[in-house]
Amino acid sequence: MTVVSDQSVVSEMHYLEQQKLYETEKPYSLRFPPNGIPQLPQSNVKRERHQIQLHSMRQRKDLTLDSCGFELLVSPCSIPYEDFANPQRIQDTYLPNLGHNLKIALGAKLVIPLDSCGQVRRRHRLFPISTGENYEHNQPTAMAHIDFTVREGERMIHALFGGNADQVLQSRWQIINAWRPIKGPLNDWPLGLCDTRTVDFQSDTMPGDIVFREFFTENIQVHYNSKQVWYWLPEQTVDEVLLFKSAESDANSAQGASNIGW
């Protein structure tokens, strides 16, 4: 990362390559070794690296979920740093408190955590250099992406609400990520977010599969385009939560915001 000014930095990000392969194959990544399946690669995702400029979100009041796909929410953290090592405290205290604050901020009828214990990332001191072994904790994400497609969002709503899903789908729904540092101010691998107004979803994105042993999810892979405009929040504190969309039912509102931990 190169600091250009107090309002801008230059860094490198990874994107999905533009390849003819993806005219006939959907991008995929297996989250397990394909033992016993000869000639099946664990992933067909081809990455390319580009240098991009990221602009500070500080002093910007016009960056909102509905306009660009992300916004800043000030929400005091309800548990101390040490408790993020305790999944029960996250489930019993942190997520209900955050859900309550989100419900008020967004004017939502209902907020449901999709991950009962949240996703806690703790960067290994050597990351992104591989240690040759599985990391103890989740690591930063090194590739631009959107976590869910609208189709995947609809599938998740069917799984959550069963027979009531069709009624829920008649109303507006959103899948929103809430991302904060558990220790701050954050200067190591902050989050980058792309303004959806600068993304050509027809040519810049395509769906991909993340495959686990028991299930799969569909996300959105992102191709590089020099017209894309990226932002980050300098010196983010634990009481500052970055909200960004993964999926949105209202086609007239900003869609999923590309993101990466960098």
**Which DSSP state fits 25?**
S
Residue 67 has pLDDT above 90, yes or no: yes
Each residue of 71-108: b (16+ CB within 10 Å) or e?
bbbebebbbeeebbeeeebbeeebbeebbebbeebeee
Rounded distance between C-alpha atoms, residue 154 and residue 109, angstroms: 18
The 10s digit of each residue's pLDDT in 134-159 is: 777 777 788 999 999 999 999 999 99
Helix (H) / strand (E) containing 97: helix 95-106
89 in Cβ contact with 79 (< 8 Å): yes
Phi/psi for 191 (5° steps) reads: -95, 130
**Which DSSP state fits 107?**
T
Residue 188 has pLDDT above 90, yes or no: no
Rounded distance between C-alpha atoms, residue 230 and residue 149, angstroms: 20
CA 61 to chain centre: 22
pLDDT at 112: 93
pLDDT at 260: 62
Q: Closest Cα to residue 244, out of 228, 234, 231, 235?
A: 231
Q: What percentage of the chain exceeds 70 in pLDDT?
A: 96
pLDDT at 4: 58
Q: How confident is the model at residue 259 (pLDDT cuts 50, 70, 90)?
A: low
pLDDT at 116: 66
Give residue 115's identity as a one-letter amino acid code: D
| Angle made by CA atoms 43, 45, 50, in degrees to the nearest 5 | 145
Strands 28-30 and 205-211, by their bridges, are parallel
Concatenate the DSSP letters of all residues of 195-252 into one string: -GGG--HHHHEEEEEEE-SS-EEEEEEE---TT--EEE-TTB-TTEEEEEEEEES-TT
Per-residue CA distances from 141 to 45, 188, 189, 205, 246 (Å): 14, 13, 9, 17, 15
pLDDT at 128: 77
- For 62, residues 6+ apart whose C-beta sits below 8 A from its C-beta are none
Q: Is the pTM of this model over 0.85?
A: yes
pLDDT at 3: 58
pLDDT at 78: 95
32 in Cβ contact with 41 (< 8 Å): no
Per-residue CA distances from 38 to 30, 50, 173, 187, 210 (Å): 14, 33, 42, 43, 20
Rounded distance between C-alpha atoms, residue 201 and residue 152, angstroms: 17
